Amino acid sequence: MSKFLVSFPRSGQHLTETLLRKICSEHRVPYSYCEYYTCCKQVPCKRKALVQKNHDMDGRLAQVPTARYVVLYRKNIAAALEAYWRCQHPQGKPARGSILSPKFTHTAKTEQACVAFARQQTAYYQRFCQRWVESAPANVLPIEYDELTTAPLETMWRILHHLFPEHTFEKSVVERCIASSNVGKVNVLDAQLQQRLEQALL
């Protein structure tokens, strides 16, 4: 059975994958991961990885009835697009090997660039959410970013049982893996900037 982590960029893909890797290792559940964009760029994975990443940027990723999908997104469009822009900016990119973006303070210039970027990517965000969240079939599990960061145990429990229904997991082990992660160390978008972005995207 093919398994996918489909995400809008900067919506918890690396955090989720890191937790899956740790939890599966602790339970001796077979696990391998395809980065897709830096791997084979093929679906299914040429290396036969068990879980495959995809951002579905062109809206063409097939929704196969026999596959399982976890979809990661941010419900707030301003927060989603600002985080995506920040990842494209040299000062906002995570360090190599890190799942965390560095703290970033916008200037008037970067805010203007962020608004322009957000306007360009709005159609992609709307298409992604319509396809993978609003019209999600039963084999697709949508996970909102705030669910992952504020209720990680309950959220990871749902993800694990969706992707690996044939395996048994121990909650205490899952909780320990979460406790050793960076799940609580996330950047929060400034409320005033979020409001300005939302107004610009109207």
CA atoms within 13 A on the CB side of 136: 18
Q: Taking the C-alpha atoms of 157, 162, 164 and 165 in order, what is their torsion angle to the nearest 10 degrees? A: 100
Q: Report how far residue 102's alpha carbon sits from residue 104's, in angstroms, rounded to the nearest whole number.
A: 6
The CATH label, of 3.40.220.10, 2.30.30.30, 3.90.1150.10, 3.40.50.300, for the domain at 3-200 is: 3.40.50.300
Cβ-Cβ contacts under 8 Å for 92 (sequence gap 6 or more): 85, 86, 101, 102, 104
Is the pLDDT score of 186 beyond 70? Answer: no
Query: What is the mean pLDDT of the segment spanning 150-166?
Result: 96
- The separation between the first and the last C-alpha atoms of the chain, rounded to the nearest angstrom, is 41
Phi, psi (5° rounding) for residue 158? Answer: -65, -40
Provide the pLDDT for residue 176. 96
The answer to whether the CB of 10 falls within 8 A of the CB of 104 is no
Can you give the pLDDT at residue 197? 80
Contact between 20 and 70 under an 8 Å Cβ cutoff? The reply is: no
What does the domain layout of the chain look like in residue ranges? 3-200
Encoded tokens for 153? 């145990």
Is residue 30 a contact partner of residue 24, using CB atoms and an 8 Å limit?
Answer: yes
**67: burial class by Cβ within 10 Å (0-12, 13-18, 19+)?**
middle
Q: Lowest-confidence range among 83-92, 113-122, 155-164, 171-180?
A: 83-92
**What pLDDT is attached to residue 97?**
43
Render pLDDT for 83-111 as a digit per residue (tens, 0 to 9).
899 888 766 555 444 444 556 678 888 88
Q: What's the token pair of residue 22?
A: 């740790």
The pLDDT tens digits for 46-87 are 999 999 999 999 999 999 999 999 999 999 999 999 989 988
pLDDT for residue 2: 92
Position 16 scores a pLDDT of 96
